Structure 1
């Protein structure tokens, strides 16, 4: 084929822009790895979503084909097929070959959309080895094909392939009519093969990311049906054996999104704030002669916020501009956070005496503890920092969002409705307690290192510390009661084993507030001894001990105390558990004194359960060996002497420890709430149901 047919002069103007995309793809999609590949897919999907957002479509289908291509179908209005007067090209060719062209660039077809630069579809086209687009419009089905952004026709002999023979248009482009569409049926179908000369060899479409984005969009656009189909059958995935199909559709809004995202039990209901504001900005507008003229435009910014607070202390904020996620925030999120902090500070200062807040000021982290929020703003032609749209840059949005949130939140906190008053009271107590916890943690952090702490004599006097400064080797035993402490002091290795006794059962922190927890002497002493702070300010690297071992009696009370301690660690020192540094000691239940013949000393055998006891006794009887009666049953650690405690429970050479892990944090949260939370009814049902499986004779075993 002659060179002129490969690259004709007529397409110089078309390809010169797209060639820049191919040479510098990172400017447009961020990177050429899997992240950039997914960004191209988002560009096409967002165009379909914008049609639905404008009220012209109700369904989107995304198909991942086995050959590496991806197909996006929608039932929107369809890409325009008529001739664009300035270029003399069809609307399809303009959209897919011209940078900064499209229905969103001029603001005529969409009042608010995710796309605004007019480069999404054309960039994807430029970075594709092949792109096919079909449009249903006006009773006909139109088709146009592209290779590396250049329009033409592929001469497929069967299954569509990116390396099929291609003939570019030379004189003028043609939009082929390939079929008929039913009356009233409109939509667009796009299938493209990413150019593997551009993208890295390991770049691939992530179904998990696609799934998360589809679910997110279905929340943000109520009523929109999004169907995903993975036909790749990749080994190790859910669709390995057969094509995987999922459908997402949510008729609610961002209130449901907040409920979906929230990880913990609720302190407040989902609060919904609406509002809008206007601002002016000067933008260049092309006149009839194609000249750019600076024009003053009035913009409308609509704000929609849903948020709620839970009992936890993690903060989850998702922000969106015209349903496009802004993971790095921007002016809208800044305005939201400023309004939250300002409103809470004013309200707490006005009620400082009632809330016992003192003269300290709450900070952003105090307000955000346990908060789950979804923030959306809609405006025409938002300014993003870069084509990747991760940060909103329109400065006027900050003040609008701030005013809306401040006004709505102030009204909510000042509401006289009974339900609002109750929730507001709980929320303000939580925020103030978070502030106190932060201040207390800061004080504790100042004395977190062992040397500084010992020199300052600030550690609890009942702590029997160890001599070693090696955190990795050191161990802290939390023992039940002073009687066990006396034996444990004689049984431990004081080089690396420290002891902290607790008196009785500590506070149930699942029910108590942060303030109550810090005021509890046992909880405060434990947090101070570990020395890494608590809650959000917990610093694992500052922990003074490599292992924390819970050593309680082998009875029901001991199990309850261990559960209370684990609740404290789970709620306020979770990184210790997640890193595998919390253990439960396993003391024996029985001691069997086996009689040896002659002058040989009797042998001591320890068992750790009733089943093991019976198994050992049967073995001894079968061997004809005698043992002394009665067999000793240890009711508590204090019944052992130091030698026995060291041999069975404390000496690393002989002891058994149970490591406490969190395999499923959400399930752990539910179990702690069930066993230790404020709601009694589910716990009562659990006890009644479980009582049928309880053997009363084994209750103390």
Structure 2
């Protein structure tokens, strides 16, 4: 009797057939493994939901079709995001019988190319809206496009109404309102401070874009709009003018010939801080760095050494100035926008594009050489500051 039971258990343990393979609908797959798409089911993932919807508006801005994004934390704890872009497409797809809007909000198909209509795009490779929809207990979308207002509602990623054509309008843009699903997230309470900090970053990174945030829990409006872009970002990061080695901050941008990489840099040395480098790729903060950071550090260190020797501030017998010494007291922001970003990890905290390294080096050498040559007094002060860096910083 015992032998038969053991034999049966052994047979079942190794049994594997088609019946064991679970095929999930797109929204079910996302709800089952939310961390795969937004990093976690905690506070970080909760805020990532907002950034993904705002990411669509940013794509519209980068494509030249939107200059404002309005975000509201609603009284019930949801999020509403409105932009003045072209509006999500609403035409019907004959092959699926679904509207382009519904496909954007429900289909999970990874794309190796930027979405149609966009030269570059951030977010989850075009999956952001679909992921947000699946992880929301309720989502409504309102589109002003093609001379009319269009609306549709969803629950947990599934449409509950048909796409409806409403009154005529000459407006354009998209509004998406969603309520994060309490059955998915550990917390559904948004932090005004966290969102405001991120939106201020986006306003710095996208000069001319206005990003507003309103909290209805009680009402607390704030509007970020920085026409001076990354230079304004560095000014905010360097709060003590008396400690500055030079002013204003150095800032430049460069785009390659085929318009697949745009590099923006702002930098400033001071005497009080150990230095900090903030890097971004397609508006995403790359906390773990990547090829764009490597290109910046390499080009900057090489150029500082060359300039110091040319000006006689470093003799032929002196050792090269180290990367640590060059970056001591340097506050810098490096932002790249790529047509085909290669991020490492689902939360995209490190950039892997080798061409970003190459082009950032080219841009830094070209523009910073020009700046040094045309600002000899400030350039001398910068090299002197670097050479005066304590030995413990130069050798670490």
| 8 Å contact kept, 1:318–1:373 | yes
1:234-273 correspondence runs (5 A) = 243-265=219-241, 266-268=244-246, 269-273=248-252
2:44 is matched with which residue? 35
Alignment size in residue pairs:
371
Distance apart, 1:192 and its partner CA:
0.8
Cα deviations by residue, 1:263-292 (Å, 9 ceiling, x for unpaired): 3332123212333336xxxxxxxxxxxxxx
* Alignment check: 8 A CA contact 1:222 1:252 kept: yes
Instruction: Tell me the distance in 2 between the aligned counterparts of 1:273 and 1:258.
Output: 13
Counterpart Cα distance in 2 of 1:386 and 1:404:
27
Unaligned runs of 5+ in 1: 1-13, 154-173, 234-242, 279-297, 443-536, 538-701
Show CA shifts across 1:367-387 (max 9, x none). Answer: 112212121222212111134
Say what the alpha-carbon RMSD is for the aligned residues.
2.4
Larger radius of gyration: 1
Q: Does 1:368 align with 2:327?
A: yes
1:139 matches 2:147? yes
Distance (Å, rounded) in 2 between the aligned partners of 1:86 and 1:371: 55
1:392 corresponding residue in structure 2: 351
**In the alignment, which residue of structure 2 is the partner of 1:125?**
133
Q: String of CA shifts for 1:620-650, please: whole Å, max 9, x gaps.
A: xxxxxxxxxxxxxxxxxxxxxxxxxxxxxxx
Mark the CA change 1:132 to 1:96 in structure 2 (over 3 Å): closer, same or farther. same
Match of 1:344 in 2: 304
TM-score, normalised to structure 2, is: 0.87
Note the 1:110-509 alignment, pairs <5 A.
110-115=118-123, 117-153=125-161, 174-177=162-165, 179-183=166-170, 185-200=171-186, 202-233=187-218, 243-265=219-241, 266-268=244-246, 269-277=248-256, 300-351=260-311, 354-355=313-314, 359-413=318-372, 415=373, 417=374, 420-434=375-389, 436=391, 438=393
The SS at the match of 2:279 is strand
Point out where structure 2 has 5 or more consecutive residues left out of the alignment.
Answer: 1-22
Structure 2 distance, partners of 1:176, 1:131, is 15
TM-score normalised according to structure 1 size: 0.50
Deviation at 1:325, TM superposition (A): 2.4
Match of 1:551 in 2: none
Q: Which residue of 2 aligns with 1:68?
A: 77
Q: d(CA) in 2 for partners of 1:137 and 1:47? A: 16
Distance between the aligned counterparts of 1:87 and 1:326, measured in 2? 38
1:97-148, CA deviations, whole angstroms, 9 ceiling, x for partnerless residues?
011378x954431112223612111011111111111111122221111111
Task: Name which structure has the greater RCO, CA cutoff 8 Å, separation 6+.
Answer: 2
**Quick check: 105-114 or 324-333, which moved more?**
105-114
- 1:642 corresponding residue in structure 2: none
Please say if residues 64 and 71 of structure 1, whose CA atoms lie closer than 8 Å, have aligned partners that are also in contact.
yes
Give the conservation status (yes or no) of the 8 Å contact 1:105–1:116: no
Q: CA deviation at 1:217?
A: 1.5
1:610 corresponds to: none
**Equivalent pair of 1:329/1:392 in contact (CA under 8 Å):** yes
Over 3 Å counting, the alpha-carbon distance change for 1:313 and 1:366 in structure 2 is: farther
1:213 is displaced (CA, Å) by: 1.4
- Give how far 1:322 is off: 2.5
Return the offset for 1:350.
4.4
- Paired with 1:321 and 1:87, the residues of 2 have a C-alpha distance of 34
CA distance in 1: counterparts of 2:316 and 2:78, whole angstroms: 60
- The 8 Å contact of residues 309 and 315 in structure 2, kept in 1 or not, is answered as no
d(CA) in 2 for partners of 1:105, 1:141: 30
Q: In 2 relative to 1, CA 408–66 (structure 1 residues): closer, same or farther, beyond 3 Å?
A: same
Contact 1:117/1:387 (CA < 8 Å) preserved in 2?
no
* Alignment match of 1:109 (pick from 117, 121, 137): 117
1:326-377: CA deviation from partner (whole Å, max 9, x where unpaired): 22221111111111112122333445x6457963332222111221212122
Once the two structures are TM-superposed, the CA of residue 16 in structure 1 deviates from its matched residue by 1.3
Q: Distance in 2 between matches of 1:383 and 1:317?
A: 20
CA distance 1:403–1:95, shift in 2 (3 Å): same
